[in-house]
Amino acid sequence: MTPREVIEFAKKNNCQMFDIKFMDLPGMWQHFSFPMNELTEGTFENGLGFDGSSIRGWRAIHASDMLVIPDPVTAIMDPFTKYPTLSLIANIFDPITKEPYNRDPRSIAQRAESFLKSTGLADIAYFGPEAEFFVFDDIRYNSSHSGAFYSIDSSEAAWNTGKEEGPNLGHKPRFKEGYFPAPPVDSMMDLRTEMVMVMQQCGIEIEAQHHEVASAGQGEIDMRFSPMLNMADKLMLFKYIIKNVAYKNGKSATFMPKPIWGDNGSGMHVHQSLWKDGKPLFAGDKYGGLSEMGLHYIGGILKHAQSLAAICAPTTNSYKRLVPGFEAPVNLAYSSRNRSASIRIPMYSPSPKAKRIEVRFPDPSCNAYLAFSAMLMAGLDGIQNKIDPGAPMDKNIYGLSPEELAEIPSLPGSLEDALDALEADHEYLLKGDVFTQDVVDTWIDYKRENEVGELRKRPHPYEFTMYYDI
């Protein structure tokens, strides 16, 4: 839509408010709202002023004035507000220079798409994330000087088979047996369908929804692939809808990668392909039906995977999921069909248009704009430098001998190690000023100070189990 069309759309829907959404650096949507009479065509050019000093990872207080300029193509009706509200995703600009703010994640994704076109290699990058999530009935947690705890509950959880529920009707998925069971074991079918209905209402194309492997309400809803920036916008809306539909139904949804010990965590496999002039570039006659370009793209992802982890699996909790020998793909190998490899070549369809790669180590706690951009930049580095991904791994990696496994590199074992890897390997992100050195340094410093450092200083509840009587 054009600015004029957005205003007409708002009038047609009797909007009383408009809401501006934008992204902080770690990856959460921020928002503020205005009466509709404040929205004019000029707003889409001149923007609205706000204080950026309180946004995580952004400006210091002595240089806090910022401009937020809504993107008219993102206009939808917010599906959750009491009063009719127009929702717009915005970009952030410096009020003095009028340049896009270098720490605005959405502007980084826009620069990544521009850089792709500037290379002449392709004109569009399609992304398709599979973001898993949990829906709980109760979540309580606290961390203070005198103690710490978390408590999760779900009427569907395997640990509640013996609970007095007046009556307990059973049919609870066992640990690691939640994949595709029919109702009543899958008790969340209607809830996920409600989420799908709202997503479709908001313009998100959905391919499927299903229960995921874990007990206690793990689910997945698959979106149809889209161009990279558009898909990052959709993923943020996707998370917003899932959380709010759950909340409306008296439940709580989370994209935390590993909320439950001893069961599967939530990953976000990301399908990727490059196209030019309407033609797919990853289809060919090489391994797995890939082109040489597709293999080199894989080579770039594998070469930079350890530093990518700091952006694509960016929380301390991410590494509770990325544990060797379990469900998450920590070994840096590629294969067709083989889900134990960190990069898979899906083989569902012989059509060249369906040829893509699937990167399996990201998780949905990431900032989609940064994670998608970083993977694209790593893949392009592989193409530009013709990086050989090596031989494919068609064996079950989890069944390899220790000697064989020692030959395969792996992802970092902690966020701290991933940040060290990013500090040592990030030149590929700086090409075309897609990421700036300031953004990389700010990301590393923020994560070290606010996440790694804060967790390191606190005793863990399980340490009392292990050490209290020492």
Which residues are catalytic, by number? Answer: 51, 130, 132, 212, 220, 269, 339, 358, 360
CA distances from residue 254 to 5, 187, 251, 279, 387 in whole angstroms, order as listed: 35, 17, 10, 37, 37
SS3 183: coil
Provide long-range contacts, Cβ within 8 A and 24+ apart, for 282-291: 282/355, 282/356, 282/357, 283/352, 283/353, 283/355, 284/355, 287/336, 287/345, 287/392, 288/335, 288/336, 288/345, 288/347, 288/392, 289/336, 289/345, 289/347, 289/350, 289/355, 290/345, 290/355, 290/357, 291/355
Decide if 132 contacts 220 (C-beta within 8 A). yes
Decide if 339 contacts 329 (C-beta within 8 A). yes
DSSP letter at 129? E
Q: Which residue has the tokens 């080199």?
A: 296
| SS3 of the chain: helix, strand, coil, percent, to 5 | 35, 20, 40
Tokens coding 341:
């490899």
CA distance 415 to 257: 13
Supply the DSSP string of 322-388, one letter for each residue.
S-TTSSS--B--EEES-TTSSEEE--S---GGG--EEE-S--TTS-HHHHHHHHHHHHHHHHHTT--
Return the number of other C-beta atoms located less than 10 Å from residue 18's C-beta.
24
What is the four-CA torsion angle of 101, 106, 109, 114, rounded to 10 degrees?
Answer: -60
CA distance 18 to 41: 13
DSSP letter at 419? H
CA distance 157 to 218: 10
CA distance 13 to 21: 19
- What contacts 176, CB < 8 A, 6 or more positions away? 213, 214, 215, 263, 264
Strand ranges in 59-163 using DSSP code E only, listed in sequence order: 65-70, 76-77, 85-93, 124-136, 138-144, 147-153
Supply the DSSP string of 137-178, one letter for each residue.
SEEEEEEETTEEEEEEE-TT-GGGTTS--SS-----PPTT--
